[in-house]
Amino acid sequence: MKVIFILAAAEADPVTAEQLEEIIEADELEVAPLPDGRGFSVTSDGQVVEIRREQTAGELHLPPKLVTGTEAAKQALREARSVYRLSVNQGGDQPSVAVFEALWCARALMSVVTGVLLDVSAFKLHEPGDVAEITELEFDIRDHVTLHAVEAAEGDVWIHSHGMDKFGARDLEAFHLKQEDLPAVETFFHQLCTDLAFGQGPEPGALVETGEGDGFRLQPSESARAKLLGLGLDFFEGHEGAYFTIVSADGRHTVSEVLAPYRGRFDEEDPELTERLLAHAQQNLPAFKGRFLRKGLMEPTQFLVRVRFETHPDAEGPPAQEDLWAEVLAWEEGSLVARLVDGSSQTTEWRKGVQVELDESRVNALAVTHEGQTLDSEELEALLGAEKPS
C-alpha cells in the first residue's frame, strides 16, 4: 500500500476506530484497528484504506515552493501536532475508486479534527470545504494534479504534471512548447490525465489519433529524454521519477500539431455574435422564463442560460472573465438557481456541477435542449413563441 494523502491535525489526541465508525455510519463499511495499534483500516466494496497516525508531523520532506494552498492551510501544515497517513492499493481497472475512498475517509476524519489534507504527489493542500466539494461534485482532474511549466531555453517550455502517482499512473511531460501554447496544453494534459485516472489511457507506444490528421504517443521518459539535445541530467533534478513523455507520431519532441483541436477553445468570440446573443436573451427572457415555469416534472427538456463569471487563474493578476453555461433548476422573481454544465477552464471555483444563484439580469445567452439535442434557432423561436402574447 502507498501513502497518497496526509491529514495534518491540530489535535494531539488520536481519533479512535469507534469514533470513525460513528462518523461514517454505513453498514457496508468495516472499520478495524491495525495489528500494530497505530491506526485503523476502512474496507468498502473490496477497497481498503489504511490510516496510520503519528504523534507529531515531523519533517514531511516536501519542496516548499511546490506546495500549493492558502497561507492559512500552509500554516496549519507547519503547526500540526499529529498526522494521519492514508494509504491505498493503487491501480486496478478503475484507479480513481481507491483515491475517492481515501478522500471519504479523510472527510470523515476532518469532521472531528482540525486540519488540512495534503495530496502527497500533487503537492496540493485541501481544506475541509475543498474535500467536501471534491467528494460531492463531478470528478475534476484539476483537484488531483498540478501542472508546472519550466523554461528549458529562451522561449522553449517544458510542461509536466504532478499527482498521477496516486492513481498508480505515470505523470506526463512534453517539450519544445511556447508560452502561447500553454492554455491548449493544459486542456490537453487535463483530458489525458483524466483518461489515465479512470484506467482508460492509451498504452505506452501506441499511436493515438486526434481526428485532425495528427497523432501522438506516450513514450517512457527513460528513453525519450535521452533524445533531447541541450538538456543535461541536472536539468531534471527533483524530477528523476518515471514519466510518460508525449511525442509526435514519428517520435519527435514536437507536439504543437496535436494541440490544434484545443486552441480553438480559447479563441475570442466574435463581438457581433456576442451582441446578437445578448439582444436575443434580453428580448426572449420573459418567454424563456415562462416556458421553464410550465415545464413538466418528467419533461426531457433542459433550459440553459449563459452568464459571465469572474475567474482568478492568477491571484496576482487582474481577474479574467469567462462565459459559462448553466442548467436552470429554479426561478423566483429576478433570480434563478442553476447548475454549471461546462465548468470554468480557468479555475475550479466555478466547476462543472456547482449550483449557483444568479441575477437574471446577468444572462447573456439562452438555449434549450430536448432529449439531449440542442434546439436550433427556428425550433427555439417556435418554443418561445407560444409563451408570447399574440
Q: Does residue 266 register a pLDDT over 60?
A: no
pLDDT band, residue 176 (cuts 50/70/90)? confident
Of 56, 57, 64, 51, nearest in space to 20 by CA = 51
pLDDT band, residue 333 (cuts 50/70/90)? confident
243: alpha, beta or left, given left = phi > 0 and alpha = psi -120 to 50?
beta
Q: Does residue 315 register a pLDDT over 60?
A: no
CATH number of 271-385: 2.30.30
Q: Does residue 153 register a pLDDT over 80?
A: no
| Average pLDDT of the residues in 201-219 | 80
Secondary structure class of 93 (helix, strand, coil): coil
Kindly list the strands in the beta sheet with 355-359, ordered across the sheet, starting from the edge strand earlier in the chain. 355-359, 335-340, 320-332, 301-311, 363-370, 373-374
Distance of CA 385 to the CA centre of its chain: 40
- Furthest-apart CA pair in the chain: how many Å? 79
Q: Does residue 314 register a pLDDT over 80?
A: no
Residue 239: predicted pLDDT: 78
pLDDT band, residue 345 (cuts 50/70/90)? low
Residue 92: CB atoms within 10 Å: 15
Residue 50: predicted pLDDT: 92
What residue spans define the domains of the chain?
Answer: 2-137, 144-265, 271-385
pLDDT tens digits for range 110-143: 998 999 999 999 999 999 999 998 998 888 898 9
Residue 316: predicted pLDDT: 59
Residue 38: predicted pLDDT: 83
pTM value is: 0.75
Which residues on neighbouring strands pair with residue 118, listed in sequence order? 6, 125
| Alpha-carbon distances, residue 217 vs 165, 222, 390 (angstroms) | 20, 15, 60
Structural element, H or E, at residue 72? helix 71-78
pLDDT band, residue 263 (cuts 50/70/90)? low
CA distance 74 to 68: 8
77: alpha, beta or left, given left = phi > 0 and alpha = psi -120 to 50?
alpha
Judge whether 160 and 243 are in contact, CB under 8 Å: yes
Residue 18: predicted pLDDT: 80
Q: Supply 172's cell numbers.
A: 506526463
The mean pLDDT value of the chain amounts to 84
Residue 346: predicted pLDDT: 65
Which residues on neighbouring strands pair with residue 362, listed in sequence order? none
Residue 226: predicted pLDDT: 82
37: alpha, beta or left, given left = phi > 0 and alpha = psi -120 to 50?
left
Between 264 and 111, whose confidence is greater?
A: 111
Judge whether 383 and 375 are in contact, CB under 8 Å: yes
Residue 251: predicted pLDDT: 78
| Alpha-carbon distances, residue 115 vs 50, 118, 156, 172, 373 (angstroms) | 18, 10, 40, 30, 45
| Average pLDDT of the residues in 232-256 | 80
Of 75, 86, 140, nearest in space to 110 by CA = 86
Residue 219: predicted pLDDT: 92
Residue 7: predicted pLDDT: 93
- Name residues whose C-beta falls within 8 Å of residue 176's C-beta, 6 or more positions apart in sequence: 156, 253, 254, 255, 256
Size of the chain in residues = 390
Of 20, 3, 102, 6, nearest in space to 57 by CA = 6
CA distance 211 to 202: 15
pLDDT tens digits for range 27-64: 677 888 888 878 888 888 788 999 998 876 555 666 66
Kindly list the strands in the beta sheet with 215-220, ordered across the sheet, starting from the edge strand earlier in the chain. 146-153, 156-162, 171-177, 243-248, 215-220, 208-209
Residue 124: predicted pLDDT: 93
Of all residues in the chain, what percent carry a pLDDT higher than 90? 28
Please identify which residue in the block is written with the cell numbers 489535535: 11
